[in-house]
Amino acid sequence: MKLWKLLGIAAFAGVAASGVVAARNQRRREAYTPDQIRERLHERLAEASRSE
């Protein structure tokens, strides 16, 4: 019985930790303005074109 409780707590902690990571990544994405996103996409396209 104790093993199942421990596994349940570990699973709950894992889900909570992944939620925190997802929220942090979402906030980071929302911090960019549309112009900044467009500029980064153009930079990535230029890099990809150069490497081919």
CA distance 25 to 40: 17
Host domain of residue 47: 18-52
Q: What is the token pair recorded at 21?
A: 């990571």
Is 6 a domain residue? Answer: no
pLDDT at site 40: 94
Is 50 a domain residue? Answer: yes
pLDDT at site 26: 87
Query: In total, how many domains does the chain have?
Result: 1
Residue type for position 38: R
pLDDT tens digit at each of 52 positions of the chain: 789 999 999 999 999 999 999 998 888 888 888 899 999 999 999 999 987 6
Angle of CA points 17, 23, 47, to nearest 5°: 110
Is 26 a domain residue? Answer: yes
Its pTM stands at 0.48
For residue 32, what are the contacts with CB-CB under 8 A and spacing of at least 6?
A: 40
